[in-house]
């Protein structure tokens, strides 16, 4: 377990960065925090919990769930009602502990639905969860008492009851509350991976018949894993409700479930921290790139499919693959091949982005009355030149990239082959 300790500095650095992040965008002349940055950071926290809890299913148990947002949403809806009750003095609980209650709500619902869904695995499991997700979304739109219909339910988070005497009027206080809960939830989920349950979840993922032979019921393992992941998703939903003070059916609808999947997968399902990286990355894309481009989802989709085809281990998994090379001090030998790969990759990306943006400005952009700007110059989307330039970049980039990728792979495999005997000897 030396490796885990060796990694702990990464975690501490992440935590310090998360604590310091709001102060880096502090506006000293007005004495205010940047609202945009704070809400983005808060979003990252919640989404990290959601993605991590999703990875308890996809990465650790090999279950492809499509209703994860259901538990997130139910935690959110319940929290709105808890806050309203607490505000009226009927729930004697400080705000800091309310997310725990939301987690219990997620757990309760996950027990009910998990009992149904975990009878199956693989494709059938995915189908049942799809049905559950759609069922809950439609229910949220039809029933007004609990879900508030299309308008959702609103509340006020300033319930005047806090462990630390805080009012939670400013979003910086809420951000630190989210950060604390994210840390607690992440630690708890990491701890769970070390328990026999976490290990058995991996075993049923990899070879469920053999896990059965060992005397474990894979269904019970799936069920427990599903229920617990619902618990953590519920915590995330509770934080969502506290942050926005309004919960609508968006919080449990299919796009959020899909987001959880994208974040966990792009970040890397095989490494514990992968979903956090994915959550941060996707949230950045969502709030940053969506300001500049209408088609950010295309980039996310292409990134996702590219990872499914070429790098199923995710971004963090790719990074981790370099560890034996770095440890052997051989990383320098990869520097040149990397430099050679980067140039055509940039060309490909430039060409692809160009084509996507040109197409989208032809239709959506035109409808919004925007014009495409590049290097401070207007670009005429009806002219031939930009289109052909982008196409040449894309096609040339791909052709070049294939050549370079082949030679990169040769170097990589040679390195790996050299390192293997050394590792097994040690």
Partner 1 sequence: MEIVLVSLFNGLVYGMLLFMLASGLTLIFSMMGVLNFAHASIYMIGAYLAFTVSQLIGFFPALIIAPMLCALIGAAIEVWGLRRVHHNGHIAELLFTFGLVFIIQRGVQMIWGMLPMAYRVPPSLDFPLFTVYGANFPAYRGFMLLVSVGMLVATWVLLKKTRVGLIIQAALTHPQMASALGHNVPRVFTIVFAGGCLLAGLAGVIGGNYQTTEPGMADAMGPIVFVVVVFGGLGSLSGCFIASILMGLIQTFAVVINYSLFDLVKPLGVTLPGDNLLTEILTIPVARIGALLPFALMIIMLLFRPRGLMGTRDT
Please report how close the Cβ of residue 331 comes to partner 1 at its closest, in angstroms.
28
Tokens representing residue 412 in the block: 């990589």
Q: Provide the mask over 340-359, with x wherever binding to partner 1 is found by CB under 8 A and - wherever it is not.
A: ----------------x--x
Q: N- to C-terminal Cα distance for the chain? A: 15
Buried b (16+ CB within 10 A) or exposed e, 39-74: bbbbbbbbbbbbbbbbbbbbbbbbbbbbbbbbbbbb
Binding residue (CB under 8 A) for partner 1 from 146, 191, 331, 338: 146
Minimum distance of partner 1 from residue 91's CB (angstroms)? 18
Of these, 100, 190, 216, 304, which contacts partner 1 (CB under 8 A)?
304
**151 touches partner 1 (CB under 8 A):** no
Minimum CB separation from partner 1 for residue 209, in Å? 15
Task: Find the binder of partner 1 among 170, 312, 374, 409 (CB under 8 A).
Answer: 312
Annotate 152-220 with DSSP letters as a single string: -EE--S--S--TT-----SHHHHHHHHHHHHHHHHHHHHHHHHSHHHHHHHHHHH-HHHHHHTT--HHH
Which of 51, 82, 83, 48 is closest to 65 using CA atoms?
Answer: 51
Kindly indicate which of the ranges 6-14, 56-64, 153-161, 271-279 contains the residues binding partner 1, using the contact rule CB under 8 A. 56-64
The smaller minimum CB distance to partner 1, of residues 22 and 317, is found at 317
What is the nearest approach in angstroms of partner 1 to the Cβ of residue 420? Answer: 22
Is position 131 an interface residue for partner 1 (rule: CB under 8 A)?
yes
DSSP category for residue 286 = I
Q: Which of 56, 101, 420, 93 is nearest to 274 (CA)?
A: 56
CA-to-CA dists, residue 289 to 36, 96, 285, angstroms:
14, 33, 5
- Distance of CA 72 to CAs 183, 186, 188, 308, 411, Å? 17, 16, 17, 26, 45
Q: Which of residues 89-108 bind partner 1 (CB under 8 A)?
A: none
Q: Which of 49, 132, 221, 415 binds partner 1 (CB under 8 A)?
A: 132
Task: With CA atoms as reference, report the closest residue to 67 among 261, 254, 241.
Answer: 254
Q: Does 309 bind partner 1 (CB under 8 A)?
A: yes
Q: What angle do CA 208, 209, 215 make, to 5 degrees?
A: 95
The residue from 297, 334, 349, 353 that contacts partner 1 (CB under 8 A) is 297
Among 8-16, 187-195, 363-371, 416-424, the segment contacting partner 1 (CB under 8 A) = 363-371
Which are the contacts of 369, defined by CB distance < 8 A and separation ≥ 6? none
How far out from the chain centre does Cα 236 lie? 12
Q: Report the distance separating Cα 100 and Cα 369, nearest Å.
A: 47
Can you read off the two tokens belonging to residue 388? Answer: 């052909």
Eight-state DSSP code of residue 250: G
- Give the closest residue to 253 by CA, choosing from 25, 76, 61, 6: 76
Q: Taking CB under 8 A as the rule, does residue 260 contact partner 1?
A: no
Please give the structure tokens belonging to residue 258: 């899909």
Residue of 138, 207, 388, 407 that binds partner 1 (CB under 8 A)? 138
Q: How far apart are CA 303 and CA 43, in angstroms?
A: 21
258 binds partner 1 (CB under 8 A): yes
> Is 134 a residue that touches partner 1 (CB under 8 A)?
yes
Which of residues 298 and 334 has its CB atom nearest to partner 1 in the complex? 298
Please state the closest distance from residue 236 (CB atom) to partner 1, in A.
22
User: What is the size of the binding site for partner 1 (CB under 8 A)?
Assistant: 46
- Output 32 or 409, the one with its CB closest to partner 1: 409
Region near partner 1 per CB under 8 A, out of 6-14, 167-175, 209-217, 297-305: 297-305
Residue 367 binds partner 1, judged by CB under 8 A: yes
- Measured from the CB of residue 279, what is the shortest distance to partner 1 in angstroms? 17
Comparing CB distances to partner 1, the nearer of 18 and 358 is 358
Q: Which one of residues 124, 187, 284, 373 is an interface residue with partner 1 (CB under 8 A)? A: 124
CA distance 146 to 294: 35
Query: Which segment (36-44, 173-181, 226-234, 308-316) binds partner 1 by CB under 8 A?
Result: 308-316
Q: Which is nearer to partner 1, 13 or 122 (CB)?
A: 122
**Residues 199/221, Cβ–Cβ less than 8 Å:** no
Positions that interact with partner 1 (CB under 8 A): 58, 62, 64, 116, 119-120, 122-124, 126-128, 130-132, 134-135, 138-139, 142-146, 254, 258, 261, 265, 294-295, 297-298, 300-302, 304-305, 308-309, 312, 356, 359-360, 363-364, 367
């Amino acid at each position: 377990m030396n490796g885990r300790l060796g990694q702990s500095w990464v975690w501490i650095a992440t935590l310090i960065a998360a604590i310091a992040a709001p102060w880096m965008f502090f506006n000293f002349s007005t004495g205010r925090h940047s609202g945009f940055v704070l809400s983005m950071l808060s979003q990252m926290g919640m989404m990290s919990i959601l993605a991590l809890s999703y990875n308890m299913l996809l990465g650790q148990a090999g279950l492809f769930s499509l209703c994860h947002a259901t538990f997130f949403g139910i935690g959110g809806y319940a929290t709105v009602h808890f806050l309203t009750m607490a505000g009226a003095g009927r729930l004697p609980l400080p705000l800091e502990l309310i997310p725990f209650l939301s987690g219990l709500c997620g757990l309760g619902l996950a027990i009910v639905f998990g009992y149904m869904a975990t009878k199956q695995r693989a494709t059938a499991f995915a189908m049942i969860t799809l049905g559950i997700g759609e069922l809950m979304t439609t229910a949220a739109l039809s029933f007004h008492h609990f879900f508030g219909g299309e308008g959702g339910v609103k509340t006020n988070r300033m319930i005047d009851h806090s462990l630390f005497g805080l009012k939670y009027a400013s979003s910086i206080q809420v951000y630190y509350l989210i950060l604390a809960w994210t840390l607690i939830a992440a630690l708890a989920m990491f701890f769970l991976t070390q328990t026999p349950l976490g290990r058995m979840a991996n075993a049923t993922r990899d070879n469920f018949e053999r896990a059965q032979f060992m005397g474990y019921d894979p269904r019970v393992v799936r069920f427990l894993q599903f229920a617990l992941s619902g618990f953590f998703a519920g915590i995330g939903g509770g934080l969502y409700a506290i942050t926005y003070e309004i919960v609508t059916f968006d919080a449990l609808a299919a796009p959020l479930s899909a987001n959880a999947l994208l974040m966990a997968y792009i970040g890397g399902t095989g490494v514990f921290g992968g979903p956090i990286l994915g959550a941060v990355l996707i949230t950045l894309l969502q709030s940053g790139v969506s300001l500049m481009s209408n088609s950010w989802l295309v980039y996310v989709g292409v990134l996702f499919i590219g990872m499914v085809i070429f790098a199923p281990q995710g971004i963090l998994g790719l990074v981790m693959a370099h560890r034996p090379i770095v440890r052997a001090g051989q990383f320098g030998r990869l520097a040149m091949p990397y430099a050679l790969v980067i140039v055509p990759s940039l060309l490909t990306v430039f060409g692809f982005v160009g084509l996507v943006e040109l197409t989208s400005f032809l239709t959506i952009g035109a409808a919004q009355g925007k014009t495409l700007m590049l290097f401070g110059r207007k670009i005429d989307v009806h002219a031939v030149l930009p289109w052909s330039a982008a196409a040449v970049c894309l096609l040339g980039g791909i052709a070049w990239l294939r050549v370079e990728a082949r030679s990169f792979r040769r170097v990589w495999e040679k390195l790996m082959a050299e390192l293997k005997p050394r590792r097994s000897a040690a």
